[in-house]
Chains A and B, each alone.
Chain A
Amino acid sequence: MKYSIIKKSSIKPSNIFPSSAAVRSLVVFLLSGLLNHAATAATPVIEITIKDHLFYPAELILPANTKIKLLIHNSDPTPEEFESYELNREKVIAGNSRAVIFVGPLKPGTYPFFGEFYPKTAQGKILVF
Chain B
Amino acid sequence: MLLNSVILILQETLEAALLIGVLLAISAHLHSSLRWLWYGLSLGAIIAFFCAINMSTLSAWFDYAGQEVLNAIMQSMICVFIIVLVWLISSVRPLPTAASHAYGNRFAQLCCLIIMLAVIREGQEIMLYLSGFLGNVEHVQKVFIGSGIGFGIGASVGILLFYGLLALPTAWQKPAMLTLLALFAGNMLAQSAVQLTQVDWIAQTAPLWDSSAWLAEDSMLGELLYALIGYESRPTAAQMLSYVSGISLVWLAALGGTYYAKQQNLNGHSADSITSGACVK
Show the binding face of A for B, using Cβ within 8 Å.
Answer: 15, 19-22, 24-26, 28-29, 31-32, 35-36, 39-40, 43, 67, 69, 78-81, 85-86, 88-105, 107, 116-117, 119-120
Contact with A along B229-260 (1 / 0, CB 8 A): 00011101110010000000000000000000
* Interface secondary structure of A, over-half rule: mixed
Rounded to whole Å, the gap between the CB of A69 and the closest CB of chain B is: 8
Q: Beyond the given A93-B59, A105-B206, could you list 16 further A-B residue pairs with CB under 8 A, ordered by the A residue number? A: A20-B206, A25-B206, A29-B238, A32-B203, A32-B238, A36-B200, A36-B202, A39-B203, A43-B200, A86-B234, A88-B207, A89-B198, A91-B68, A92-B124, A100-B63, A103-B204
B128–A29 CB distance below 8 A: no
When the two chains form the complex, which single residue of A39, A102, A117 contacts B198, counting CB atoms closer than 8 Å? A102
Please tell me if B168 contacts chain A, counting CB pairs below 8 Å. Answer: no
Q: How far apart are the CA atoms of A9 and B64 in the complex, in Å?
A: 28
CA distance A25 to B4 in the complex (A): 36
Q: Across the interface, do B64 and A36 meet the contact criterion of CB distance under 8 Å? A: no
CB distance from B209 to the nearest CB of A (A): 8
Q: Measured between alpha carbons, how far is A102 from B212 in the docked complex, in Å?
A: 22
Alpha-carbon distance A117/B233, docked complex (angstroms) = 22
Instruction: Report B13-30 CB contacts with A as 1/0, cut-off 8 Å.
Output: 000000000000000000
Known A-B contacts A36-B203, A67-B204; A92 and B55 likewise in contact (beta carbons under 8 Å): yes
The answer to whether residues A100 and B205 also contact, given A26-B241, A89-B198 and a CB cut-off of 8 A, is no
Residues of B within 8 A of A (CB): 1, 4, 8, 55-56, 59-60, 63-65, 67-68, 124-125, 128-129, 131-133, 194, 197-209, 212, 216-218, 232-234, 236-238, 241
Whether the Cβ atoms of A99 and B208 lie closer than 8 Å is no
Q: Which residues of A contact B201 (CB under 8 A)?
A: 36
- The reply to whether B202 and A32 contact each other, CB–CB distance below 8 Å, is yes
The 8 closest A-B pairs by CB, nearest first: A32-B203, A25-B205, A78-B132, A97-B56, A100-B64, A94-B56, A102-B200, A94-B55
Contact of B237 with A79 in the complex, beta carbons under 8 Å: no
